[in-house]
Amino acid sequence: MNHTIMGTHRRVPTVPAGAVAYDTAPARTVSGWNSPGIRQPQGTAVDSAKNFYVLMESKITVYSPASPDPIRTIEGDLTGIDNPFGFALDADDYLYVPNSTRNSVLVFAPEADGNVSPQRVLAGARTGLNGPEAVAVSPEGVLYVANYESKSITVYAPDAGGDTAPIRTITGSETGIYYIRGMAVGADGSLYAINNRSSEILVFGPDATLNIAPTITDGKAQGLTNLSGIAVDANGYILVTDCASFSVLIFASLADEPVTTISGSASHLDYPTGVAVDGEHNVYVANWGNWSITVYTAHAPVEQLVSPAFPPTGALAAPRHRPRHRPL
């Protein structure tokens, strides 16, 4: 059995026999040590123009495909952003931010910048929001919100705002929902949700509701112990970050072992908390440990993963300290 060596402070994951393992430098790195916009990033997302968004505490910074510095920053009292755990972009580049402490979801217009108010806010007793921590949006604009306190996923019609009731709610002992840290929606409408503390990936059908059992993939069976981020690309590949093993796994199907694993010291992955993929299948990873976003070009199960498609803007510096606590 092959292993990818991660360094003395990293758990060494087992790379499945059928997987292609890449321990190679990212094509692009933007680091918090040389950019004022990145500090312990919780997640990342990519819009239709390949601008990538970085979530940190109570602000969101936006980078173009070439600039080492933020082109936009959403931050300030008017935004209402209050230490969210996740965020998402829809097909039209509207930005959705859950506020767990305020039981709300903020929706910002494309190109939002500065201390600006959200275009609309989903909040109120009828919404059923109860500790919202993760969001995902389907290609049709259906909004999914994972609620930590009620162990539920509430589903809303496109453009929902105000005190609007969900069109469906997934909750109950059969659902397996516990601590959902990341979600993504596939092209077929299937919902993928990560149970962070159990390292399970739950998959619900497009019309799932009430106390319905999902298909469950046990990450621990593949040596994964701290799943944190998930994304699904246009071809149906499923990308998952494992914060504990400093790796990104790419599946063609969750029923099978991953076809590709990105890991190793050359990859510069360091407590990866979030993952995103653009329309050309380039992979973006938020690294909480070294305050960076690393980009890997067009993922594939064969041939070379990384090529110089992105300009090498920014530079990775070794973190000046190790984080005292893991992000998750």
3-state secondary structure of 267: helix
The partner residues of 121 in beta bridges, in order of sequence, read 106
pTM of the predicted structure, to 2 decimals: 0.86
Torsion of CA 105, 106, 108, 112, to 10 degrees: -140
The structure tokens listed for 241 are 């970050």
Q: pLDDT grade, residue 327 (50/70/90)?
A: low
- How far is 73 from 39, CA to CA, in rounded Å? 13
Q: Which residue has the higher pLDDT, 309 or 113?
A: 113
Nearest by Cα to 150 from 181, 192, 125, 178: 178
Q: Which of 7-11, 207-211, 320-324 has the highest mean pLDDT?
A: 207-211
Q: Which of 8-22, 34-48, 206-220, 306-320 has the highest mean pLDDT?
A: 206-220
Rounded average pLDDT over 159-171: 98
Question: Over 70: is that where the pLDDT of 62 sits?
Answer: yes
What tens digit of pLDDT does each residue of 281-299 get?
A: 899 999 999 999 999 986 5
Question: Over 90: is that where the pLDDT of 155 sits?
Answer: yes
Rounded average pLDDT over 19-26: 75
Lowest mean pLDDT among 14-23, 86-95, 150-159, 308-317: 308-317
Q: Which of 18-27, 152-161, 256-265 has the highest mean pLDDT?
A: 152-161
What tens digit of pLDDT does each residue of 232-250 get?
A: 998 899 999 999 899 999 9
Rounded average pLDDT over 58-64: 94
Q: Which residue has the higher pLDDT, 18 or 120?
A: 120
Question: Over 60: is that where the pLDDT of 96 sits?
Answer: yes
Q: How far is CA 277 from CA 48, 95, 187, 209, 299, in A?
A: 11, 16, 14, 28, 9
pLDDT at 303: 37
Question: Over 90: is that where the pLDDT of 139 sits?
Answer: yes
Q: pLDDT grade, residue 197 (50/70/90)?
A: confident
Domains, the chain? 20-296 (2.120.10.30)
3-state secondary structure of 177: coil
Question: Over 90: is that where the pLDDT of 9 sits?
Answer: no
Rounded average pLDDT over 14-40: 73
Which residues contact residue 219 at a Cβ distance below 8 angstroms, ignoring those fewer than 6 apart? 199, 200, 201, 225, 227, 240, 242
pLDDT at 311: 34
